Chains A and B, each alone.
Chain A
């Protein structure tokens, strides 16, 4: 198991590379969901400002 994490001596390069890419994936999910939530919130506010909202 520890041999796997050592990556034949390349651990200092392999794992950061995987971490950065994983971070890009996770951040994309978080940002996209947040952007959608923000748009929905804005739409709700627009509707309620004109007195027809929920």
Chain B
């Protein structure tokens, strides 16, 4: 087992060109999967026997909610790697994640509210999942605010990395406490949006959307990563080649 691939991932010029080369391999499958998932979800899947066509919101809500958590986890892992091994590229990955995650957390909240109105009769229910999602949005905003507040990139990298790691330790505690709090105050008779077993025609578009969103995250991350890597390199000669091109 050689570690050369790992060391090469710490080298900014290698990462820059690799990211540029990989982007289409994420972007095009993502586009195809999302378009296919939209077709399957909006047209092919039959209406739900309880929720009618309203259930189709799941095809945008669930992938957005999945993104919000997956991106946060990616960000925290990258931040931890950057802190422990002092790898600049890892910090660049973490910094690239935050705006992507925040935007999809926002989308998950809005689509959740739009789903809540026809199903619960109210746009906002203090449901544990929606509440946790709202708290996650604040965690993202705090991370971005801290980065914006610190002018020195290196300090911003390391300080925001500590915050991301502290946040990821807290996310399960927050989620548990919010669930516990909710169970005290709410009768469990509120209609649950749980899906007992989904028909394949409903499930396949959902899986396509989940995979498509994940690949989309990869593509956007790679583009942002190139920008972050460039802004962290002050004087390297390889930049000259890239800027000229």
Contacts and interface: CB of A to CB of B under 8 A. Distances in A.
B24 interface: no
A10 B52 contact: yes
A25 B235 CA distance: 34
A47 B234 CA distance: 9
Given A8-B54, A43-B230, A13 B115 contact: yes
B111 A32 contact: no
A29 B234 CA distance: 26
Given A8-B53, A13-B57, A27-B103, A47 B117 contact: no
A37 B110 CA distance: 30
A29 B220 contact: yes
Contacts of B9: none
Q: How large is the interface on B (under 10, 10 to 19, 20 to 34, 35 or more residues)?
A: 35 or more
B106 interface: yes
Chain A binding surface, main DSSP class: helix
A19 to B, nearest CB: 9
B173 interface: no
Contacts of A31: 99
Interface of B: 34, 38, 42-43, 47, 52-54, 56-57, 60-61, 63-64, 99-100, 103-104, 106-107, 110-111, 114-115, 117-118, 216, 220, 223-224, 226-228, 230-231, 233-235, 239-240, 242-244
